[in-house]
Amino acid sequence: MSYKHDYDKTLRRLNTIIVRLNNGESLSVKELAEEFNVSIRTIQRDFNEKLVSLYPIYQDKRKWKMQDGYKIEKATSVEDTIVLDILEKMTDGLGSKFSTKAKKMLSKIKNENDNPIYAKLNMEDISNHVNEIAILENAINNKHIITATYDYVEYKTELKVKPLKIANYEGIWYLIALNAKNDKLRKYHLKSIGNIIILDTVFSTKKELLELLDNSINVWFNDDTEPYEVILFLNMQLKL
């Protein structure tokens, strides 16, 4: 609890400092230390170890300033900046088209070109299936039944399903859907789906099923599996 409290205090302090610098103020380390009731060394670390690497700030006559001409348009907190950096790195695993478009969108709300965060996600590239995804999203949002072709390894088949979710499990993209004839839950490899047609027929979804999808952790879940309790017994022996 203490750690979270300290973390929140630090974020609020850094956010306040950056907003004030962004508004053109010149800030003294000593005055900031008194204002936030922390040590001078803490404020110096804020600048030297955190803020200098994220923003074009500099010291002039012992006061910190924001570089002339630089303006933070929307991302006004350090926490927001970190979140945006992580999102940007996550897009690298989504394929070249998605990654390029995502980075262009993110660049509109952040000013930094260099990202100090590294994240490697082994995700299936679905950049060439943007149109199919858009059609599926439309059908899912409006709860319309669809027909499509599904390409198995050795043959193709026709699908008629109630699409529920587009999901990623362990880097592979799936369409989670109900068979339109018997309402059996099915998972289809997204890249194997083609020729999607949205029908006029609408469907409804049980709340319990949507909760099951939201709580699933891998593709092997099923809608007819009864929940059960698991009790773990740990035998911990201390060696002195």
Count of residues making up the chain: 240
Average pLDDT, the chain: 79
Percentage of the chain beyond pLDDT 70 is: 69
Q: Which of 47, 66, 85 is the last residue of a domain?
A: 66
Helix axes 2-22, 78-90, angle to 10 degrees: 100
Mean pLDDT of 110-120: 55
Q: Which domain holds residue 36?
A: 2-66
pLDDT reported for residue 240: 46
Torsion of CA 133, 135, 141, 145, to 10 degrees: -120
Tens-digit pLDDT profile for residues 130-184? 888 889 999 999 999 999 999 987 889 999 999 999 988 888 889 999 999 999 9
Say if pTM beats, i.e. exceeds, 0.85: no
Rg (C-alpha) for the chain, rounded Å, is 26
Q: Are residues 196 and 162 in the same domain?
A: yes
Residue 82 domain-assigned (yes or no)? yes
Q: Are residues 61 and 85 in the same domain?
A: no
- The HSE-up count of residue 227 (CA atoms within 13 Å, CB side) is 6
Q: How many domains does the chain have?
A: 3
Instruction: Say which CATH number the domain at 211 has.
Output: 2.30.30.520
Q: Cβ neighbours of residue 10 under 8 Å, at least 6 residues apart?
A: 46
DSSP 7-56: HHHHHHHHHHHHHHHHTT--EEHHHHHHHHT--HHHHHHIIIIIITTTS-
Mean pLDDT of 203-217: 85
CB under 8 A, 24+ apart: contacts of 202-208:
202/142, 202/143, 202/144, 202/145, 203/143, 203/144, 203/145, 203/162, 203/178, 204/143, 205/143, 205/162, 205/164
Paired strand residues for 20:
none
pLDDT reported for residue 76: 47
Q: Are residues 55 and 21 in the same domain?
A: yes
CB 73 within 8 A of CB 109: yes
* 47-56 b/e (C-beta count within 10 Å ≥ 16 → b): beeebeebbe
Tens-digit pLDDT profile for residues 6-53? 556 787 888 888 889 888 899 999 999 999 999 999 999 888 887 887
Q: Are residues 206 and 174 in the same domain?
A: yes
